[in-house]
Chain A
């Protein structure tokens, strides 16, 4: 492996990480765009998603990495698990909004944000107390297929991760830009009162936003498990914090910004680890965040809801 192979490999690693952060960042950014709330429960909705997908695969007889599928059964199974997981975490997100946060809507000050931290802890401890705290050996039916590009290796799981991430982000982009619901969502983000006046049902828009953001977090949870063959009750924090950083870096409220922010953070992480030292990763990431916010307070790509503060 010469120098360029290592660089290419680190870019592959970084983009994979970034795709995962991007999926997670979307949930933060969408919710913030609509109701200006930083939703810390999102961290652990992601974590719960990875467990739901694992349990689902375990009930279907896939335990650990010993049971390998190929071709159509593999794609069918992954799509099924992905759909069920997204539905489950989406519902969880909608329930959090409906029963945890709706009553607090419009309350000024930090109360709604603190509530999301509380909900985050509840999810965290439920998983901890029901499944135990040891690292879980994730169910993974994917064969160990790999392609050599020079000295670098591209694995099936990376390709799959990118494919799922790109497909979901494209679908989201289409939904927000082209559908009626999406346009209503944009309208709500710009001005809730005005949107209500022209007949937008703001409550259902907010709950839909939570549903979509949480469903994407569930997808990220499944991808996380398949990528690392591992999950644990503790995965929400590090990944969630990086994803949140990605959302802020891209301009919070800005959907394409969150995607790009995720990839930027992923690349910083892998290239920083390669050319500096892994133990400095967080220092590098958060220093860049501080610098960006000092010089460009709206994030690298600006805020998407310009009519608001």
Chain B
């Protein structure tokens, strides 16, 4: 068999492989099996000379990118996502690859020192790097919508699909904004989470129905994700009759938010909603704990999970509400085995977006497999088409996409930080309580 494998690449390699194979065939005492292998080798060698590229491709590896902000304020969560995606790919490789392919991963860091968190410019640079390598057929990432907005025009041009485990800004997949984010028209931005078109508004419903909030102050961190989710939250809150007393923007590099919090304290709203990620969120939580300790405070998935929890710490984060743009799974008995395996492998406790990253990698692997098995060449374009028609059972249930690349399931789950002394302070699973799905509009 080894002879056959070595051969497909080309005639020269084939001869080398034949020579290589001789000692083995002696071991096997030149059985009929080996002779047949020689015959097959000759045929395959000939076939590859004639240019049967699909046969030759079977012997190769193909590449999948992972682009996440692995340094910076978002790293804590991004690393969990990376482990999730890597687990799916390592498992597939351990079982001999998918559709005959070994998957090689190219990991690129989209966080930079100057930004201190994710950096859209770096994400764009990374995407160009992936596009330049013809072996790359799909990408997993990004974490943040700000990265996604910088990546999509380049991805669209190259017909290279990506799948994000956590980026929720709805503009990116909105058909009205296709000219900006998918100029070539085909969906290249798939998600294993829903968007802020549901995450923000559903949380506004939760604030109205469950928390009985009558007035609110809305903040964002001036990032693509933060502004988007705060806007959609605010619109739904106003629709629900909540009085919005003000809206302001935080500079994430600024250390001092006492000014804005003092202003908010003077206005006496029932609650603060913060659209944004950990870099500003951590400081906001700490200073809000000092200045407006009793006010209801909440945010989206930007304040859910490791970076916000470890940076903010208790008692500052106590009582904060957060959401994720998907179902809550890590405490589901059905994934207990997976959680155990993940923890053994990475030394970290997975959060829900580690699972959506794992699911995202499964979608990519499944698409590659279906393309390979259909006999079509495994190209970016074909992998993208296969991802579009995904109908795959994953940890979060069956994943399927609409024509824009958005996941069909639109669950938004609500959590609240609550100190649980039985577990370490930075345990992302046990330091927040799952309150249930947010009411759909």
Contact = CB atoms under 8 A, between A and B. Distances in A.
A135 B282 contact: yes
B313 A65 contact: yes
Interface string A249-277: 00000000000000000000110011001
Interface in A228-251: 228-230, 232-235, 237-239
B259 A279 contact: no
Contacts of B255: 224, 228, 230, 235, 238-239
Interface stretch (B244-252, B296-304, B427-435): B244-252
A24 B13 CA distance: 67
A239 to B, nearest CB: 6
Contacts of A224: 255
Contacts of A233: 113, 116
A13 B310 CA distance: 26
Interface string B303-336: 0000100111111100000000000000000000
A169 interface: no
Given A273-B263, A279-B251, A65 B71 contact: no
B269 to A, nearest CB: 12
A137 B306 CA distance: 13
A67 B286 CA distance: 17
Contacts of B251: 238, 278-279, 281-282
- Name which of B73, B262, B279 has the most chain A CB atoms within 10 A of its CB: B262
B253 interface: yes
Contacts of B141: none
Interface string A60-73: 00001100000000
Contacts of B76: 134
B380 to A, nearest CB: 32
B267 to A, nearest CB: 9
A229 B316 contact: yes
B258 A274 contact: no
Contacts of A16: 258
Contacts of B75: 132-134
Given A133-B111, A278-B250, A128 B71 contact: yes
B290 interface: yes
B278 interface: yes
Given A10-B262, A65-B313, A270-B259, A133 B113 contact: yes
Contacts of A128: 71, 113
B253 A278 contact: no
Contacts of A9: 262, 265-266
